Structure 1
Amino acid sequence: MITPAFELTQDLDFLTVKIRVPYARASEFDIYFEGEDFKFYAKPYFLRLTLPGRIVEDGREKASYNTDEGTFTIQLPKEVPGQYFEGLDMLTSLLAPKKSRSAKPLVEEMAASAELSEENEEEFDWEMEQIPYEESPPPLQHPYGFGNLRSGVFQRLQDELSDVIDIKDPDQTPAEERRRRRLAAEAAKFEPDHYLADFFEDEAIKHLLKYKPWWIDAHKKMTALQGESHQEHDSPAFVVFSEEEREQMRKFTNKSFLLDKRSRRHVYLGLIDILLAYCYEIRVNEGDKNVESSWNIRKLSAALCWLESFSSIHDVLVSFGRRVLCYPLYRHFELVTRAFSDTVMILQLGKAAVLKCLLDIHKIFMESDPAYILNDLFITDYCIWIQKVKSKKLAALCESLQKTTLSKSHVGLELEELEAAAVLVQEEEKALKAAGTVSKQQLLCSESETSDSEESSSTSSSETEGSDSDEQESSTSEDGEINSFQGTLQEERTAPLIDCNGLRQGTAALAMEVGAGKSKVSLQSTTPPGKLIEELEMQIQSAMRLSEQPEGLATAGCISQEQEENPLPEPDRFSEDAAEKGDFLEVSPKPNPLLFLCSTNEDED
């Protein structure tokens, strides 16, 4: 038999059941209802519901069939007009028979006794005093999963599931050791540079904070209409399930959960942890799912990733805050606080809103191959369990969550110290930059002043150069004549008078007046007398060596050379005055220079 798609609505007097049965024979159907039971049959469809309130057959019931849509619409009168039927959206619980039980559990629970125990259960104290846990001898395998009801799963599938969770060998790792390893892994993963980058460059963060998921509008509507109705309800008008979500609920198998007080506490705290991770994922992706959605949810939830069993709401918030600042792309504390406020809104909307979020998580994990096991361990059981939770229990959980606070100092990653140090560095950089700007401006001012002074000095120097050039031209013209005259006299003075045998004839000191006797140029012998005598001796010795040659050749060569150069004047004798001074005025070559040189040498001796 096929369970058809169905939908329940209500008003003050009637409960309306809409059943979609395409390709069914409208002439062959059966309807039965009495009290809380409702049954419908139209081959091949069969539907049995356990209603949250009583209905009655009094002639006001109606049924109609739409052939185009293939739907039956059945109106059933309420036994108590005006009574509100709670949980009409909880389709899984409605499908369960009135006396159902889970499939062969270790301890069987009858539905009637379960309802009785739920009604008589005392209010859960969320702020109760913590008692130190005394660990009993550990069992062979440590439990985990929803309500810590599973064990041995990862031992059998360790290779396939190693990418789903971060804890290695969870079956042999106790809860305290899991927590210790988780805290160490988070401390090692935290990157101050990444956190400070998101803290100062927060344009993308501000954009994400402006996003409004669906529960914000629903919460506003609920708040606006909160004082208009005094009936207890879980906001069915503000949370609407899609047909796909209804189909998900129809596929779940109804079952009951035997949870003690401690296990129920773990379930409630784990629910907060999962919702926080889901709210972060929805906000950072702005409602669009992607390939990273599954990773984000399970990585940010320590209950899913480390199989953590929390002991308080504050522990849940601290764990979520640390993981947001260590793992995802956007690591900003404002995202932690915004996910916190989003979770509060969802809990305030009631279990219908919580179920809608859990169904979305279930779908995300089903589409991710390694994460499907988390549905079997946690999400499927949460989807079934939340439909049976009393609304007042959820309201108490929400109230306790609102009273809990989380600050940066609670996270334990020294966020405030990092921010203060970064702000100091930023202020120093600004001060250095400002000082550099001032010095640059001063440098530009000094350069402009220097350029102005250079321009003025260049102007004055150009004028000075102009006057100097005029004076230099006049002095150059005068000095040119003197220098040219000096050069002529210097050549005459320094030119050695050499006879044909290489003897230096001598130089004389000259003095003359230039330009009407005003300028004088004195030409004196640059060679001291002692050196002149030595030079003469050397030349005499070289001449004596030449005399050893054939006389005719030497004499003829000397005479011919002298005759070609200058005709020789008549020989003069030494001046007595010059002889006393030791200077030679002039030495005239002789027709026979060898005899003259020899006689000169004898006189000197």
Structure 2
Amino acid sequence: MITPAFELTQDPDFLTIVIKVPYARGSEFDVYFEGEDFKFYAKPYFLRLTLPGRTVEDGREKASYNTDKGTFTIRLPKEIPGQYFEGLDMLTSLLAPKKSRSGKPLVEEIDTAASAELSEEEEEEFDWEIEQTPYEESAESMLPLQYCYGFGNLRSGVFQRLQDELSDVIDIKAPDQTPVDERRRKRLAAEAAKFDPDHYLADFFEDEAIQHVLMYKPWWVDVHKKMTAFKGESHQEHDNHTFVVFSEEEKEQLRKLTNKSYLLDKRSRHHVYLGLTDILLAYCYEICVNEGDKNVESAWNIRKLSATLCWLESFTSIHDVLVSFGRRVLCYPLHRHFGLVTRAFNDTVMILQLGKAAVLKCLLDIHKIFRENDPAYILNDLFITDYCIWIQKTKSKKLAALSESLQKTTLTKSHIGFELEELEAAAVLVEEEERMLKAAGTVSKQQLPSSESETSESEESSSTSSSETEGSDSDERESSTSEDGKINSLQGTLQEERTAPLIDCNGLRQGTNTSTFEVSDEKPKVSLQSTSVPGKLIEELEKQMHTAIRLSEQPEGLAAASCILQEQEENRVSKPDGFSKDTTGKGDFLEVSSKANPLLLFCSTNEDED
């Protein structure tokens, strides 16, 4: 037999069941309902439901078949008009037979078997001749202790059969031999070793990407707003689930789940609720940072941020759950920001307030993520599948109480244990000191010593126009007149200025403290502190120069000067070595060159002078 797809809705007086039976004969079907029992048969489909409320056969019942869609629609009158049937979207729990919904028969069977064995033992005659041995206390190391884990701590020995995939699923080693307290100690030590202050401070100061993802609104935000508005208008709470709609894929997931009952004591139920909170926190973080999209790291994010999944942790309080989640957010994922912890906390409160339908929808999404990831599917068998079945039978009041407790719990950076506030304060101080040092460096550059400022001024003057530099050059020449006659001083100055900048936007310029030579389109303007240079000085200067470079071989900046000198050389009269005659008759040129810096001196003399 095939279990068909089905859907239940209700109004104040009727319960409507829509059953999809494609390729079935509409003329051959059977429907049976009485109280909470409902049965439907249309070969090859069979459906048996345990309804959350009682129905009655009073002549108002009605059934119809749509041949185009292949669906049966059956309307059943409610025994108590106006009664609200809770949990109509919990399809897995509806599929279970009524007897299997309770754990009492299982307990009774176990007790019956135990009592039967006991009665058989009592009937047997006791053997007084049994061999006696001295009592010896067995060592603890010889006992094959196995610690429990999984949903409600109902599993053990699972990882002994899955050693190859153990490291890819959880962080704890040998969980079957590790008690809960030791798991917690190892987890805290691993988190303390993993925490990176530089990564945390980088996300703290440069949080543009984090602020962007914090603006994302998942589906439960709008649903929660609608639910809040509806509550304010109608003051009704039982219609919360109607705002959460399951997709066809999710309904198919629910139908494939095998319903079963869980025998949980009070302590185990407490662990289950806290574990559910931890898993939802990790899921909300994943949805926020990826803005609702799934990727290859989604399964890793959820199981890594949940200590319940990654370390098989069993929490004892809500505050412990929040602290564990906050620590893991600041240690493992790409975005490590406390704002993401707060955002996941608020989203989890919203989901719990929406009721078990919203929680189930999130669990089904987690189940799908783990199912599509190779090693993470084990966590479905240990936790998520059981959570999906168990949550359908949970009372909404329990989830509402859990959300209230979660809201009353506070989590601050001091609770995390990584000295976050101290790190942030120290980082802010360092940032302020760097800013002050940068400001001081700017001021010191503006207040340079006089020698450096003069040098910088001389360098800047090389890029100014020739008209602006004439005044500064004349001032420099006047300041050097006191050294007139000192040959050694003049020679040293000329040697120091070999590599000085010569190129000006208008031609050639030599900026020294003793002389300035400028070439332009006009007649050459020459200023020299001494109009008559001794012959010995000229000879000594010629000896000190190692090589001579023509002005025509200089960079482009000397092109204009080269053209002028070439025209003048055609009209020159031969002179002694080192001199060339100016056709204007006003003086002689002294050409002294070197590889680094050509120097032209113009000696202004009269024809009758030597």
The answer to whether the superposition gives a TM-score over 0.5 is yes
- CA–CA distance in 2 between the matches of 1:36 and 1:426? 70
- CA–CA distance in 2 between the matches of 1:417 and 1:353? 39
Partner amino acid, structure 2, of 1:233? H
Partner amino acid, structure 1, of 2:392? Q
What's the CA shift for 1:108? Answer: 5.4
Among 418, 422, 428, which residue is 1:423 paired with? Answer: 428
Name the residue aligned to 2:40.
40
What's the CA shift for 1:201? Answer: 0.5
Partner deviation per Cα, 1:376-428 (whole Å, 9 max, x = no partner): 11111111110111111111111101000000000001111111111111111
Name the residue aligned to 2:195.
190
- CA–CA distance in 1 between the matches of 2:288 and 2:333? 13
- Assess if the C-alpha contact under 8 Å between 1:234 and 1:351 holds in 2: no
> RMSD of the alignment, in Å?
2.9
Name the residue aligned to 2:68.
68
| 1:89 aligned onto 2:89 | yes
Per the alignment, do residues 20 and 462 of structure 1 end up closer, same or farther by CA in structure 2, a change over 3 Å counting? Answer: same
Partner deviation per Cα, 1:349-373 (whole Å, 9 max, x = no partner): 0000000000111111111111111
Unaligned 5+ segments in structure 1 are 111-135, 478-605
1:232-271 equivalence runs, <5 A: 232-233=237-238, 235-271=240-276
Name the residue aligned to 2:379.
374
- CA–CA distance in 1 between the matches of 2:403 and 2:192? 30
- Assess if the C-alpha contact under 8 Å between 1:36 and 1:53 holds in 2: yes
Per the alignment, do residues 104 and 475 of structure 1 end up closer, same or farther by CA in structure 2, a change over 3 Å counting? Answer: closer
Name the residue aligned to 1:325.
330
Partner amino acid, structure 2, of 1:286? E
Per the alignment, do residues 35 and 417 of structure 1 end up closer, same or farther by CA in structure 2, a change over 3 Å counting? Answer: same
Query: Residue 315 of structure 2 aligns to a residue in which SS?
Result: coil
- CA–CA distance in 2 between the matches of 1:283 and 1:455? 69
- Assess if the C-alpha contact under 8 Å between 2:231 and 2:237 holds in 1: no
Per the alignment, do residues 412 and 29 of structure 1 end up closer, same or farther by CA in structure 2, a change over 3 Å counting? Answer: same
Per the alignment, do residues 102 and 374 of structure 1 end up closer, same or farther by CA in structure 2, a change over 3 Å counting? Answer: farther
| 1:299 aligned onto 2:304 | yes
1:356-371 equivalence runs, <5 A: 356-371=361-376
Name the residue aligned to 1:495.
none
Query: Residue 32 of structure 1 aligns to a residue in which SS?
Result: strand
Per the alignment, do residues 74 and 464 of structure 1 end up closer, same or farther by CA in structure 2, a change over 3 Å counting? Answer: closer
What's the CA shift for 1:39? Answer: 1.0
- CA–CA distance in 2 between the matches of 1:11 and 1:475? 120
Per the alignment, do residues 471 and 62 of structure 1 end up closer, same or farther by CA in structure 2, a change over 3 Å counting? Answer: closer
- CA–CA distance in 2 between the matches of 1:203 and 1:444? 43
Q: Normalising by structure 2, report the TM-score.
A: 0.70
Among 468, 473, 478, which residue is 1:458 paired with? Answer: 473
Partner amino acid, structure 2, of 1:169? A
Per the alignment, do residues 51 and 440 of structure 1 end up closer, same or farther by CA in structure 2, a change over 3 Å counting? Answer: same
What's the CA shift for 1:228? Answer: 2.8
Query: Residue 217 of structure 1 aligns to a residue in which SS?
Result: helix
Per the alignment, do residues 145 and 471 of structure 1 end up closer, same or farther by CA in structure 2, a change over 3 Å counting? Answer: closer
Query: Residue 75 of structure 2 aligns to a residue in which SS?
Result: strand
1:15-414 equivalence runs, <5 A: 15-100=15-100, 107=107, 140-233=145-238, 235-414=240-419
Per the alignment, do residues 439 and 247 of structure 1 end up closer, same or farther by CA in structure 2, a change over 3 Å counting? Answer: same
What's the CA shift for 1:461? Answer: 4.6
What's the CA shift for 1:472? Answer: 5.3
- Assess if the C-alpha contact under 8 Å between 2:286 and 2:302 holds in 1: yes
Query: Residue 154 of structure 1 aligns to a residue in which SS?
Result: coil
Unaligned 5+ segments in structure 2 are 111-139, 462-467, 485-526, 536-610
- CA–CA distance in 2 between the matches of 1:184 and 1:86? 45
Partner amino acid, structure 1, of 2:404? E
- CA–CA distance in 1 between the matches of 2:477 and 2:529? 14
- CA–CA distance in 2 between the matches of 1:209 and 1:39? 49
- Assess if the C-alpha contact under 8 Å between 2:241 and 2:354 holds in 1: no
What's the CA shift for 1:90? Answer: 0.5
What's the CA shift for 1:346? Answer: 0.1
What's the CA shift for 1:56? Answer: 1.4
Larger CA deviation: 79-88 vs 305-314: 79-88
Per the alignment, do residues 456 and 270 of structure 1 end up closer, same or farther by CA in structure 2, a change over 3 Å counting? Answer: same
What's the CA shift for 1:107? Answer: 3.5
1:584-599 equivalence runs, <5 A: none
- Assess if the C-alpha contact under 8 Å between 2:103 and 2:263 holds in 1: no
Per the alignment, do residues 193 and 429 of structure 1 end up closer, same or farther by CA in structure 2, a change over 3 Å counting? Answer: same
Name the residue aligned to 2:7.
7
Larger CA deviation: 255-264 vs 452-461: 452-461
Partner amino acid, structure 2, of 1:14? F
- CA–CA distance in 2 between the matches of 1:362 and 1:188? 31
| 1:433 aligned onto 2:438 | yes
What's the CA shift for 1:438? Answer: 2.3
- Assess if the C-alpha contact under 8 Å between 1:84 and 1:231 holds in 2: no
- CA–CA distance in 2 between the matches of 1:359 and 1:342? 17
Per the alignment, do residues 263 and 461 of structure 1 end up closer, same or farther by CA in structure 2, a change over 3 Å counting? Answer: closer
What's the CA shift for 1:11? Answer: 1.2
- Assess if the C-alpha contact under 8 Å between 1:101 and 1:108 holds in 2: no
- CA–CA distance in 1 between the matches of 2:204 and 2:388? 37
1:459-478 equivalence runs, <5 A: 459-462=474-477
- Assess if the C-alpha contact under 8 Å between 1:102 and 1:254 holds in 2: no
Query: Residue 445 of structure 2 aligns to a residue in which SS?
Result: helix
Per the alignment, do residues 343 and 461 of structure 1 end up closer, same or farther by CA in structure 2, a change over 3 Å counting? Answer: closer
What's the CA shift for 1:100? Answer: 1.3
Partner amino acid, structure 2, of 1:25? R
- CA–CA distance in 2 between the matches of 1:2 and 1:68? 20
- Assess if the C-alpha contact under 8 Å between 1:234 and 1:391 holds in 2: no
Per the alignment, do residues 376 and 463 of structure 1 end up closer, same or farther by CA in structure 2, a change over 3 Å counting? Answer: closer
What's the CA shift for 1:436? Answer: 1.7
Partner amino acid, structure 2, of 1:434? A
Per the alignment, do residues 56 and 315 of structure 1 end up closer, same or farther by CA in structure 2, a change over 3 Å counting? Answer: same
- CA–CA distance in 2 between the matches of 1:43 and 1:66? 16
Per the alignment, do residues 248 and 461 of structure 1 end up closer, same or farther by CA in structure 2, a change over 3 Å counting? Answer: closer
- CA–CA distance in 2 between the matches of 1:466 and 1:402? 89
Query: Residue 225 of structure 1 aligns to a residue in which SS?
Result: helix
Partner amino acid, structure 2, of 1:283? C
Name the residue aligned to 2:560.
none
- CA–CA distance in 2 between the matches of 1:353 and 1:325? 27
- Assess if the C-alpha contact under 8 Å between 1:8 and 1:88 holds in 2: yes
Aligned length: 454
What's the CA shift for 1:232? Answer: 3.8
Partner deviation per Cα, 1:408-458 (whole Å, 9 max, x = no partner): 000001111111111111111111111222223344998489559997552
Partner deviation per Cα, 1:60-90 (whole Å, 9 max, x = no partner): 2222212121111111111212111100011
Partner deviation per Cα, 1:514-552 (whole Å, 9 max, x = no partner): xxxxxxxxxxxxxxxxxxxxxxxxxxxxxxxxxxxxxxx
Partner deviation per Cα, 1:544-577 (whole Å, 9 max, x = no partner): xxxxxxxxxxxxxxxxxxxxxxxxxxxxxxxxxx
Higher relative contact order (CA 8 A, sep 6+): 1
- Assess if the C-alpha contact under 8 Å between 2:356 and 2:399 holds in 1: yes
